[in-house]
Structure 1
Amino acid sequence: MIEGPYFVLTVVGAVACGLVAGVFIGFSAFVMRGLAALPPAQGVAAMQAINVAALRPAFMAVFMGATGLSAVLAVVTFVLWPDEGTVELLLGCALYLFGCFGVTVAANVPRNEALAKVDPASEDGAAYWRSYVAEWTAWNHVRTAAATAAAFSFILGLT
């Protein structure tokens, strides 16, 4: 049975992954659909503003906190190698680190950076916006599933 600080780290990791999954599901379920329904110039401008606001401490603390906790839990799990929950904890760490954080860095952030350079009122902006919404949202679905599965895996590791 996982106990003490290791238990606390795992619970906090599960909660953090769940919070991140909640933010991402909101984007997949309705935010991106709402932005896509706007005229392209308005959608681009709104998403540019969202991308700036997302870098504030409230979200970044949870997002990066879950990343750090996943890394720490992976190391602690390898060092302690508990009798129970090892596979679930390592799976949760991998899901978050690669499926959520890794996808964010490799897929979503580059698209956000490209969108930041687009003039919302231009024809190029409108053309990029159409592909951006589809691609960004598809990768966001991956992040959502990975963060959700990571939280679930951490919980299974505790049972």
Structure 2
Amino acid sequence: MIEGPYFVLTVLGAVSCGLVAGVFIGFSTFVMKGLAALPPAQGIAAMNAINVTAVTPAFMAVFMGATGVCAVLAVVTFVLWPDEGTVELLLGCALYLVGCFGVTVAANVPRNDALAKVDAGSERGAAYWRTYVTEWTMWNHVRTVAATAASVAFVLGLT
């Protein structure tokens, strides 16, 4: 049975991954659809503003906090190798670290950086916006599923 500080760490993993999943599902289900409905120049401006404000301490504490908790939890799980919950905990860590943090770094952030460089009022900007919305949202779906599945895996590891 998982107990003590290890229990607290696992609960923190479940909660923090669940919080990140909640942010991402909001983007996948209505924020991106709302931005896509705007004229391209307005959608680009709004998304660029969101991307700047997303790296504030409040969101980054949750997003990077979940990353840190998952990294520590993976190491602790390998060291302690509990009788129960090991597979679920390691699966949850891998899901978040690869499917959420890794996808953010490899797919979403590069698209955000490219969006920041386009001329929002140009035809090239409008064309990139259409591609951006589709691709960014698809990768955001991956992050949402990964963070949700990680949270579920942690809860299963506790049961």
TM over 0.5: yes
Question: CA shift at 1:120, angstroms?
Answer: 1.2
Matched letter for residue 117 of structure 2: K
Partner of 2:46: 46
Partner of 1:18: 18
Question: CA shift at 1:103, angstroms?
Answer: 0.4
Deviates more, 1:79-88 or 1:119-128: 119-128
Matched letter for residue 86 of structure 1: T
Matched letter for residue 101 of structure 1: F
Structure 2: distance between partners of 1:37 and 1:109: 22
Q: Deviations over 1:78-135 (max 9, x none)?
A: 0000000000000000000000000000000000000011121111110100000000
Matched letter for residue 76 of structure 2: V
Matched letter for residue 69 of structure 2: L
Matched letter for residue 119 of structure 1: D
Deviates more, 1:6-15 or 1:115-124: 115-124
* Aligned positions, number: 159
The within-5 A match list for 1:27-38 is 27-38=27-38
Structure 1: distance between partners of 2:116 and 2:57: 20
Partner of 1:68: 68
Q: Deviations over 1:38-82 (max 9, x none)?
A: 000000000000000000000000000000000000000000000
* Structure 1 segments of 4+ aligned residues over 2 angstroms from their partners: none
Structure 2: distance between partners of 1:73 and 1:126: 43
Structure 1: distance between partners of 2:64 and 2:47: 21
Extract unaligned runs of 5+ from structure 2. Answer: none
Partner of 2:134: 134
Structure 2: distance between partners of 1:49 and 1:118: 14
**RMSD value, Cα:** 0.4
Instruction: State the identity as a percent.
Output: 85
Give the alignment's TM-score, normalised by structure 1. Answer: 0.99
Matched letter for residue 121 of structure 1: G
Give the alignment's TM-score, normalised by structure 2. Answer: 0.99
